[in-house]
Amino acid sequence: MALLNISQINSLADDQFVSIFGNVIELCPDAAVQVKKKGPFRTVSELCEAFHKYLDDLTEEGKLSILKLHPDLAGNLTRLSELTRESAGEQRSAGLTELSDWHVNVIQSSNQRYKTKFGFPFIICARENKFQSIIEGLQHRYDNTREQEIATGINEVKKICKLRILDIAQLD
């Protein structure tokens, strides 16, 4: 699919916009519904900022809901090939679909420890990381407070969101 320019994005009907941008924040088409109302956008960067503002404006409960929508890295959904198309590509790019059973066990046990402490999955922009940095992130971030991890997780969601938008839209 050819990348859309900002004029094409602005001319999308509401349902088309949601269909195209409905998963730039994992499994959260409401973000696209709300962002579409903020248009028209002058630039793709402004579109990205609108999605980021959507995240920033959420209550803590809303942010937790967003974080909980994300799959575990190298988790059961990965092994069962039940990730969204976007998540599958991101985990593949980080090498998480090619791990040995030992590596899968390491990451899954680390994920479970993290999830037990914080109440949501560990989120990191997989396209900007590989297995080793993900494991290091899991270990390092485990010492954070819940509030720090909510903020860090949302910042990682913003990175993921921007990269997903750039898979759809050409920069101005």
Catalytic residue numbers read 70
Identify which of 152, 163, 154 has the alpha carbon closest to the alpha carbon of residue 126.
163
Contact 32, 168 (CB under 8 A): no
Round to whole Å and give the CA distance between 27 and 7. 25
Sign of CA dihedral 44, 32, 126, 113: positive
DSSP labels, 80-123: TT-S-HHHHHHHHHTTTTS--HHHHHHHHHHHHHHHHHHSS---
